[in-house]
């Protein structure tokens, strides 16, 4: 393990691609990794918590929005290295599709800002390519299902 890493193994993060009609919920990250970048809401799984419970809790903490968790979209390896190639962060990210239930979206917890965004406007946000891919995967699934 590199000396700068606080954990000897990957950390589990859970994200949610939250839909309200044809808009997806994005947060601007308030902490590392990728501080300042836009992403889907989510965060670390707690001991004794299922991944679906994590999705519900993290969305509520970061955005004040209540969701219903839908299908698993993908599991993403978030392996980030410094410029010199040294491992900086390693997260296993479990991403679900979710539907908005209620609540006024507002930044809280680890989020610096929140926004409901049309898929056509995603290119205006600084998204990690894997985040954009998972959002578009969810969008394609919903479109095919007539949602």
Domain ranges of the chain: 11-144
Label residue 147 by pLDDT band (50, 70, 90): confident
Q: What is the pLDDT of residues 15-62, one digit of tens each?
A: 999 999 999 999 999 887 778 999 999 999 999 999 999 999 999 999
Residue 105: phi, psi to the nearest 5? Answer: -65, 125
- Please report the pLDDT score of residue 6 as a whole number: 59
- Please report the pLDDT score of residue 44 as a whole number: 94
Bigger pLDDT: 12 vs 1: 12
Q: What is the pLDDT of residues 105-138, one digit of tens each?
A: 999 878 899 999 999 999 999 899 999 999 999 9
Q: What is the pLDDT of residues 90-110, one digit of tens each?
A: 889 999 999 999 999 999 878
Give pTM, 2 decimals. Answer: 0.89
pLDDT at 1 exceeding the cut of 70: no
Integer Cα distance of 86 and 27 in angstroms:
28
- 11-144: in CATH 3.90.79.10: yes
Q: Could you tell me if 100 and 67 are in contact, meaning their C-beta atoms sit under 8 angstroms apart?
A: yes
- Please report the pLDDT score of residue 89 as a whole number: 81
Residue 119: phi, psi to the nearest 5? Answer: -55, -35
DSSP run (H or E) holding 52: helix 51-63
- Please report the pLDDT score of residue 48 as a whole number: 97
pLDDT at 2 exceeding the cut of 70: no
Integer Cα distance of 104 and 58 in angstroms:
15
Which tokens belong to 23? 């808009």
């Amino acid at each position: 393990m590199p000396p700068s890493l606080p954990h000897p193994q990957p950390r589990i993060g859970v994200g949610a691609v939250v839909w309200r009609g044809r808009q997806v919920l994005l947060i601007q990250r308030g902490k590392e990794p990728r501080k300042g970048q836009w992403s889907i809401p989510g965060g670390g799984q707690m001991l004794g918590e299922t991944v679906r419970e994590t999705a519900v809790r993290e969305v509520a903490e970061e955005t004040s929005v209540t969701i219903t968790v839908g299908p698993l979209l993908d599991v993403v390896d978030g392996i980030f290295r410094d410029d010199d190639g040294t491992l900086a962060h390693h997260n296993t990210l479990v991403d679900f599709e979710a539907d908005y239930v209620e609540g006024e979206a507002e930044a809280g917890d680890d989020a610096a800002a929140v926004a409901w965004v049309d898929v056509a406007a995603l290119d205006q946000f600084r998204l990690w390519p894997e985040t954009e891919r998972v959002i578009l995967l969810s969008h394609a699934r919903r479109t095919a299902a007539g949602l």
